[in-house]
Amino acid sequence: MAKAPPKKEEQNAADDEAPPVKKKGKLPLIIGLVVLLAAAGGGAWFFLFKGKGDETAQQAKPQAPKPPVFVPLDPFTVNLAADENQQYLQVAATLKVLDQAASDTVKQYMPELRHKTLLLLSSKKPAEIASAAGQERLAEELRQTANNVMLAAAGRPAKPIVLDVPKQGDSMAAEAKAEEKPAADSARPEEGAKPEDATAEPSAPASPAPALAPATPPVAAQPATELARAAADDPVQSVFFTSFIIQ
């Protein structure tokens, strides 16, 4: 026999006894958004600051010095400016230049450089270049002459030939002394000022002093000098003699 369908009242009672279905809240969605934002922020920090960290590491790392660039010159043979016995100079030199570009320019302007070097060497007397100090001065004069050829080739103004420059320490001391001088002058009493003790009795007139010979003016001390050196951006940095013979 077929069973009769359950009554409507019994079905409603069964539905009331069943546990209610929980609704999903917004908490998982909020957690997901927080995780997503954190990941995005970490990626942005990585790309922004990673490059800066690499640059800082490269700056902190000491850079290796540039290798020197030398340009040898063909030997020179010139007659020196002797007064009595004729003497001549045989010399070979090498230029130390700033970089490879300067080396290429030296080779390009070699005829002009040799011409000016020959004129300079032939103007020297044997006594001027016989000593080691004289040869050092000649090397510096050659360097400045060659440097001016390079500067003119680059469209830059030439520099005056100056071999003797004040020593660094002496120039600083002279500047400090010049600053102290006005302060010492200000401490002197003004002309015509009365002495502090105005109540003192006037002294008897002193006998006239004998005439003194005029004092010799003091000779100003000459500042110490040293041989000039190349600037950091000079195309020609040094001149080295590889052979130097006076006959």
Q: What is the pLDDT of residues 152-172, one digit of tens each?
A: 999 999 999 999 999 876 555
**C-alpha radius of gyration, the chain, whole number:** 45
Largest CA-CA distance found in the chain, in angstroms, rounded: 169
Question: Which of residues 209 and 153 earns the better pLDDT score?
Answer: 153
Instruction: Give me the pLDDT at residue 63, please.
Output: 73
Token pair 């002459």 is found at: 145
Q: How far apart (Å, rounded) are the C-alpha atoms in residues 49 and 219?
A: 66
Average pLDDT in the chain = 77
What pTM was estimated for this model as a whole?
A: 0.58
Question: Per the CATH hierarchy, to which homologous superfamily does domain 69-165+228-246 belong?
Answer: Band 7 domain (3.30.479.30)
Residues 25, 27, 28, 33: is their CA dihedral positive or negative? positive
Residues 235/69, Cβ–Cβ less than 8 Å: no
* Helical spans, DSSP H, in the chain: 8-17, 27-60, 100-108, 110-122, 126-129, 132-153, 168-186
Residues 142/93, Cβ–Cβ less than 8 Å: yes
Instruction: Give me the pLDDT at residue 50, please.
Output: 58
- Pair of tokens at residue 103: 């080396």
* Helical spans, DSSP H, in 5-92: 8-17, 27-60
Nearest alpha-carbon partner for 245 in 80, 123, 120, 74: 80
- Write the pLDDT tens digit of every residue in 4-35: 555 555 555 555 555 555 555 566 667 777 66
Domain spans of the chain?
69-165+228-246
Residues 231, 107, 94, 75: is their CA dihedral positive or negative? negative
Looking from the CA of 127 toward its CB, the CA atoms found within 13 Å total 4
Q: How far apart (Å, rounded) are the C-alpha atoms in residues 9 and 14?
A: 9
